[in-house]
Structure 1
Amino acid sequence: MTTSLSAAELAHLVTAVPGVRAIEPGIGSTLRALDSRMRQQDPQQARFGVIVEEGSSRAVIEIGIDGSRPVKDIVRDVQEAIIGSLSQANESDGASEAQEGSGSSDVGEENMPQVTVRVQSLL
């Protein structure tokens, strides 16, 4: 994952998906955000409800949804929005990283963003 997309930008993308009420932090993202702030790490990567694992292409999004659409459709749309944005950001960063690659045949698999969506509440 790249640092060019901040956790705040990811949160904005998620809340634009129909059916998502808001970002709702769980205990995991709350502890990570507090830890990051106490260690005075990059504030763009620490946000309640959004966990961005630095150095990997993984993100965990914690949301609250309304009952306007099926849960699986909302989760799928959130994942697609985040993966699309992260893929575009990785493509722009990938040109310089590709020159330094290890030559492994499954490099594309490693760079594919993985997004986990945790539904915290349903109203």
Structure 2
Amino acid sequence: MSSAQLPPGETKPVRSLRRRFTVRRTRVGGWWVALVAGTLVLLLLLIFVLQNGQQVQISFLGLSGVLPLGVAMLLAAIGGIVAVAIPGTGRILQLRRAAQQEVAGRSPAPPAEPAQPPTPEIHKNAPQ
């Protein structure tokens, strides 16, 4: 049988015309994904604020005022983000400083040894 004549029910294998290759990720592609995701989050926040427009009384550290509920909750979320970002930034700076000292050949200060509890002294002549 030649390749032109195949038995009924069998098909000739077809080579894929497409070459399989992968595209490496780039910074621009990453920024684009972040921009789209950020836009979606901002759109959802805008919808949230617009749907929660009823006025609420807010009191904080002796200050008080009236704000729309959505705005008050958004400000509380921003305050929470700041409360997490401050110690996180401090830790990043601490690690960066330690890495720079390591690269420069200076070893960062070793961590302080934990205090050992005093061990009781055992005397050989002590009554038991």
Q: TM-score higher than 0.5 here?
A: no
TM-score (normalizing by structure 1):
0.27
Compare CA radii of gyration and give the structure with the larger one.
Answer: 2
**Higher RCO (C-alpha under 8 Å, 6+ residues apart):** 1
TM-score (normalizing by structure 2):
0.27
Q: Which has the higher strand share?
A: 1
